[in-house]
Amino acid sequence: MQSPRPRPRNLRLEVQYDGTGYHGWQIQPRLRTIQGELTRTLESIVREPVHVCGSGRTDAGTHALAQVCHFHTTSHMDSSSLWKALNSRLPATIRVTGIEQVAADFHARRHARTKHYRYRILNTPWCPPFEYPYVHHFYRILDHEKLNRAAELVVGRQDFSAFCDAGSQARSKIRRVTSSLFVFDTRRKLLEYNVCADGFLHHMVRNLVGTFLEVGRGKLPVEAIPAILESKNRSRAGPTAPAKGLFLVRVFY
Protein backbone atom coordinates (compact mmCIF):
# COMPACT_ATOMS: atom_id res chain seq x y z
CA MET A 1 0.00 0.00 0.00
CA GLN A 2 1.29 3.45 -0.86
CA SER A 3 1.47 6.14 1.80
CA PRO A 4 -1.21 8.78 1.27
CA ARG A 5 -0.16 11.79 -0.82
CA PRO A 6 0.82 14.48 1.69
CA ARG A 7 -1.47 17.45 2.06
CA PRO A 8 0.21 20.41 0.31
CA ARG A 9 1.44 23.26 2.48
CA ASN A 10 1.07 26.90 1.51
CA LEU A 11 4.33 28.81 1.99
CA ARG A 12 4.72 32.59 1.99
CA LEU A 13 8.05 34.08 0.94
CA GLU A 14 9.39 37.59 1.34
CA VAL A 15 11.86 38.39 -1.39
CA GLN A 16 14.35 41.22 -1.92
CA TYR A 17 15.75 41.79 -5.39
CA ASP A 18 17.91 44.03 -7.51
CA GLY A 19 15.85 44.31 -10.71
CA THR A 20 18.86 45.37 -12.83
CA GLY A 21 19.30 42.84 -15.62
CA TYR A 22 15.89 41.20 -15.10
CA HIS A 23 12.93 41.47 -17.46
CA GLY A 24 10.69 42.25 -14.49
CA TRP A 25 8.81 39.96 -12.14
CA GLN A 26 6.64 37.99 -14.51
CA ILE A 27 7.88 34.70 -15.95
CA GLN A 28 8.51 34.81 -19.71
CA PRO A 29 9.99 32.20 -22.03
CA ARG A 30 13.72 32.59 -22.67
CA LEU A 31 13.97 35.80 -20.57
CA ARG A 32 15.52 36.25 -17.15
CA THR A 33 12.76 37.20 -14.70
CA ILE A 34 12.40 37.16 -10.92
CA GLN A 35 9.40 34.82 -10.94
CA GLY A 36 11.24 32.60 -13.42
CA GLU A 37 14.36 32.33 -11.22
CA LEU A 38 12.29 31.65 -8.10
CA THR A 39 10.22 28.98 -9.88
CA ARG A 40 13.24 27.24 -11.39
CA THR A 41 15.13 27.27 -8.08
CA LEU A 42 12.16 26.11 -5.99
CA GLU A 43 11.44 23.28 -8.44
CA SER A 44 15.07 22.13 -8.25
CA ILE A 45 14.72 21.91 -4.45
CA VAL A 46 11.23 20.47 -3.92
CA ARG A 47 11.37 18.34 -7.10
CA GLU A 48 7.82 18.99 -8.24
CA PRO A 49 6.18 21.67 -10.39
CA VAL A 50 5.66 24.92 -8.49
CA HIS A 51 3.52 27.96 -9.23
CA VAL A 52 4.96 31.05 -7.56
CA CYS A 53 2.26 33.70 -7.16
CA GLY A 54 3.48 37.24 -6.38
CA SER A 55 1.61 40.19 -4.86
CA GLY A 56 1.87 41.84 -8.27
CA ARG A 57 4.29 42.41 -11.12
CA THR A 58 7.23 44.78 -11.04
CA ASP A 59 8.65 46.34 -14.22
CA ALA A 60 11.94 45.41 -15.83
CA GLY A 61 14.70 47.14 -13.82
CA THR A 62 12.48 47.83 -10.80
CA HIS A 63 13.66 46.62 -7.40
CA ALA A 64 11.96 45.18 -4.32
CA LEU A 65 12.84 45.36 -0.63
CA ALA A 66 10.05 42.95 0.32
CA GLN A 67 8.00 41.45 -2.49
CA VAL A 68 5.58 38.82 -1.17
CA CYS A 69 4.67 35.58 -2.91
CA HIS A 70 3.19 32.19 -2.05
CA PHE A 71 3.35 28.68 -3.46
CA HIS A 72 1.93 25.27 -2.60
CA THR A 73 4.16 22.26 -2.13
CA THR A 74 3.90 18.67 -0.94
CA SER A 75 7.55 18.76 0.12
CA HIS A 76 8.24 17.87 3.75
CA MET A 77 11.33 20.02 3.91
CA ASP A 78 11.28 22.31 6.95
CA SER A 79 11.13 26.06 6.32
CA SER A 80 14.59 26.80 7.65
CA SER A 81 16.28 24.22 5.36
CA LEU A 82 14.24 25.43 2.40
CA TRP A 83 15.28 29.02 3.15
CA LYS A 84 18.97 28.09 3.25
CA ALA A 85 18.69 25.99 0.09
CA LEU A 86 16.95 28.85 -1.74
CA ASN A 87 19.51 31.49 -0.82
CA SER A 88 22.40 29.19 -1.66
CA ARG A 89 20.99 28.39 -5.13
CA LEU A 90 19.40 31.72 -6.13
CA PRO A 91 21.51 34.39 -7.83
CA ALA A 92 22.94 36.92 -5.34
CA THR A 93 20.62 39.54 -6.89
CA ILE A 94 17.61 37.74 -5.36
CA ARG A 95 17.40 37.01 -1.62
CA VAL A 96 14.64 35.31 0.30
CA THR A 97 14.40 37.34 3.51
CA GLY A 98 11.61 35.37 5.17
CA ILE A 99 9.63 32.17 4.81
CA GLU A 100 6.61 30.93 6.77
CA GLN A 101 3.78 28.47 6.45
CA VAL A 102 0.41 30.23 6.06
CA ALA A 103 -3.27 29.25 5.86
CA ALA A 104 -4.11 27.12 2.82
CA ASP A 105 -6.19 29.92 1.33
CA PHE A 106 -3.64 32.74 1.73
CA HIS A 107 -3.19 34.44 -1.64
CA ALA A 108 -0.33 36.92 -2.13
CA ARG A 109 -2.09 38.92 -4.85
CA ARG A 110 -5.79 38.75 -3.94
CA HIS A 111 -5.29 39.38 -0.23
CA ALA A 112 -2.88 42.32 -0.60
CA ARG A 113 -4.58 45.33 1.02
CA THR A 114 -1.99 48.07 0.59
CA LYS A 115 1.31 48.42 -1.21
CA HIS A 116 4.10 50.83 -0.40
CA TYR A 117 6.34 51.94 -3.25
CA ARG A 118 9.35 54.25 -3.02
CA TYR A 119 10.89 56.20 -5.88
CA ARG A 120 14.45 57.48 -5.39
CA ILE A 121 15.73 60.60 -7.15
CA LEU A 122 19.33 61.80 -6.86
CA ASN A 123 19.42 65.56 -7.43
CA THR A 124 23.17 66.10 -7.99
CA PRO A 125 25.30 67.42 -10.87
CA TRP A 126 26.75 63.94 -11.48
CA CYS A 127 25.73 60.48 -10.33
CA PRO A 128 28.14 58.21 -8.38
CA PRO A 129 28.52 54.87 -10.22
CA PHE A 130 27.49 53.03 -7.03
CA GLU A 131 24.11 54.83 -6.90
CA TYR A 132 23.42 54.70 -10.63
CA PRO A 133 21.38 51.44 -10.76
CA TYR A 134 19.21 52.47 -7.79
CA VAL A 135 18.20 56.09 -8.47
CA HIS A 136 16.82 58.34 -11.16
CA HIS A 137 19.58 60.89 -11.64
CA PHE A 138 17.95 64.30 -12.15
CA TYR A 139 20.36 67.24 -12.18
CA ARG A 140 17.91 70.13 -12.66
CA ILE A 141 16.97 72.36 -9.70
CA LEU A 142 13.82 71.11 -7.95
CA ASP A 143 11.43 73.05 -5.73
CA HIS A 144 10.86 70.72 -2.77
CA GLU A 145 7.77 72.52 -1.52
CA LYS A 146 6.09 72.29 -4.93
CA LEU A 147 6.93 68.58 -5.12
CA ASN A 148 5.09 67.88 -1.88
CA ARG A 149 2.15 70.14 -2.71
CA ALA A 150 1.73 68.22 -5.97
CA ALA A 151 2.19 64.84 -4.24
CA GLU A 152 -0.56 65.63 -1.69
CA LEU A 153 -3.08 66.22 -4.46
CA VAL A 154 -3.21 62.57 -5.51
CA VAL A 155 -4.23 61.32 -2.05
CA GLY A 156 -7.75 59.85 -1.89
CA ARG A 157 -9.99 57.62 -3.96
CA GLN A 158 -9.58 58.87 -7.51
CA ASP A 159 -9.60 57.81 -11.15
CA PHE A 160 -5.93 57.45 -12.17
CA SER A 161 -6.55 56.88 -15.91
CA ALA A 162 -4.29 59.86 -16.71
CA PHE A 163 -1.39 58.11 -14.95
CA CYS A 164 -2.01 54.66 -16.42
CA ASP A 165 -0.20 53.47 -19.52
CA ALA A 166 -2.15 52.26 -22.54
CA GLY A 167 -2.44 48.49 -22.72
CA SER A 168 -3.49 48.19 -19.09
CA GLN A 169 -5.99 45.38 -18.58
CA ALA A 170 -7.41 46.89 -15.37
CA ARG A 171 -11.22 47.06 -15.49
CA SER A 172 -11.39 49.99 -13.11
CA LYS A 173 -8.85 52.82 -13.04
CA ILE A 174 -9.99 53.94 -9.60
CA ARG A 175 -7.47 53.51 -6.78
CA ARG A 176 -7.29 54.76 -3.22
CA VAL A 177 -3.96 56.47 -2.46
CA THR A 178 -3.55 56.63 1.31
CA SER A 179 -0.24 58.46 1.45
CA SER A 180 1.90 60.34 -1.04
CA LEU A 181 4.95 62.15 0.26
CA PHE A 182 8.44 63.26 -0.73
CA VAL A 183 11.13 62.83 1.93
CA PHE A 184 14.30 64.87 1.43
CA ASP A 185 17.79 63.90 2.50
CA THR A 186 19.33 67.32 1.90
CA ARG A 187 22.87 66.25 2.77
CA ARG A 188 22.90 63.45 0.18
CA LYS A 189 20.60 65.42 -2.17
CA LEU A 190 18.42 62.34 -2.29
CA LEU A 191 14.65 62.66 -2.76
CA GLU A 192 12.48 59.71 -1.87
CA TYR A 193 8.87 59.71 -3.00
CA ASN A 194 6.77 57.33 -0.87
CA VAL A 195 3.32 56.27 -1.98
CA CYS A 196 0.83 53.80 -0.50
CA ALA A 197 -2.35 52.65 -2.22
CA ASP A 198 -4.76 49.73 -2.34
CA GLY A 199 -3.37 48.98 -5.79
CA PHE A 200 -1.40 50.52 -8.64
CA LEU A 201 -2.09 50.73 -12.37
CA HIS A 202 0.53 49.95 -15.00
CA HIS A 203 3.43 52.48 -14.66
CA MET A 204 1.33 54.53 -12.23
CA VAL A 205 4.12 55.40 -9.77
CA ARG A 206 6.59 56.17 -12.56
CA ASN A 207 4.02 58.38 -14.34
CA LEU A 208 3.20 60.21 -11.11
CA VAL A 209 6.90 60.85 -10.45
CA GLY A 210 7.52 61.97 -14.04
CA THR A 211 4.68 64.49 -13.63
CA PHE A 212 5.77 65.68 -10.18
CA LEU A 213 9.26 66.35 -11.56
CA GLU A 214 7.72 68.60 -14.24
CA VAL A 215 6.06 70.51 -11.38
CA GLY A 216 9.24 70.56 -9.28
CA ARG A 217 11.31 72.04 -12.09
CA GLY A 218 8.65 74.66 -12.89
CA LYS A 219 7.38 73.35 -16.22
CA LEU A 220 3.89 72.61 -14.84
CA PRO A 221 1.99 74.49 -12.09
CA VAL A 222 0.96 72.58 -8.96
CA GLU A 223 -2.66 73.24 -9.98
CA ALA A 224 -2.17 71.16 -13.12
CA ILE A 225 -2.39 67.95 -11.06
CA PRO A 226 -6.17 68.00 -10.36
CA ALA A 227 -6.79 69.03 -13.99
CA ILE A 228 -4.70 66.10 -15.27
CA LEU A 229 -6.54 63.65 -12.97
CA GLU A 230 -9.86 65.11 -14.16
CA SER A 231 -8.91 64.78 -17.84
CA LYS A 232 -8.29 60.99 -17.52
CA ASN A 233 -5.96 61.59 -20.45
CA ARG A 234 -2.48 60.01 -20.26
CA SER A 235 -1.05 62.53 -22.73
CA ARG A 236 -1.75 65.40 -20.29
CA ALA A 237 0.57 63.93 -17.61
CA GLY A 238 4.39 64.01 -17.62
CA PRO A 239 6.81 61.39 -18.94
CA THR A 240 7.31 57.96 -17.34
CA ALA A 241 10.25 58.15 -14.89
CA PRO A 242 12.89 55.39 -15.33
CA ALA A 243 12.25 51.99 -13.73
CA LYS A 244 15.58 51.86 -11.86
CA GLY A 245 14.52 54.45 -9.24
CA LEU A 246 11.51 52.39 -8.17
CA PHE A 247 11.37 50.03 -5.17
CA LEU A 248 8.47 47.92 -3.92
CA VAL A 249 8.97 48.52 -0.19
CA ARG A 250 6.23 46.51 1.49
CA VAL A 251 2.92 44.74 0.94
CA PHE A 252 0.33 44.89 3.72
CA TYR A 253 -2.23 42.08 4.28
Known catalytic residues are 59
With respect to a copy of itself, which residue has the nearer C-beta, 127 or 170?
127
Q: How far is the CB of 146 from a copy of itself (least distance, A)?
A: 28
Compute φ and ψ for 13, nearest 5 degrees.
Answer: -115, 145
With respect to a copy of itself, which residue has the nearer C-beta, 63 or 70?
63
With respect to a copy of itself, which residue has the nearer C-beta, 90 or 150?
90
Q: How far is the CB of 81 from a copy of itself (least distance, A)?
A: 15
Q: Does 93 bind a copy of itself (CB under 8 A)?
A: yes
Tell me which of 87, 168, 194, 231 binds a copy of itself, using CB under 8 A: 87
**Window 102 to 161, contacts with a copy of itself (CB under 8 A):** 126-130, 132, 134
Q: How many residues bind a copy of itself (CB under 8 A)?
A: 17
Binding mask 42-81 for a copy of itself (x = CB under 8 A): ---------------------x------------------
Q: What is the DSSP string of the chain?
A: -PPPPPPPEEEEEEEEE--TTS--SS--TTS--HHHHHHHHHHHHH-S----EESS---TT-EEEEEEEEEEE-----HHHHHHHHHHHS-TTEEEEEEEEE-TT--TTTT--EEEEEEEEE-SSS--TTTGGGSEE--S---HHHHHHHHHTT-EEEE-GGGS-TT---S--EEEEEEEEEEEETTTTEEEEEEEES---TTHHHHHHHHHHHHHTTSS-TTHHHHHHHHT-GGGS-PPPPGGGEEEEEEE-
Q: Does 18 bind a copy of itself (CB under 8 A)?
A: yes
Q: Does 32 bind a copy of itself (CB under 8 A)?
A: no
Q: Does 7 bind a copy of itself (CB under 8 A)?
A: no
Binding mask 182-201 for a copy of itself (x = CB under 8 A): --------------------
Compute φ and ψ for 126, nearest 5 degrees.
Answer: -140, 160
Stretch that binds a copy of itself, among 16-24, 113-121, 206-214, 224-232 (CB under 8 A): 16-24
Burial of 113 (0-12, 13-18, 19+ CB in 10 A): exposed
Q: How far is the CB of 137 from a copy of itself (least distance, A)?
A: 8
Q: How far is the CB of 13 from a copy of itself (least distance, A)?
A: 13
Using CB under 8 A, list all residues that contact a copy of itself: 16-18, 63, 87, 92-95, 97, 126-130, 132, 134
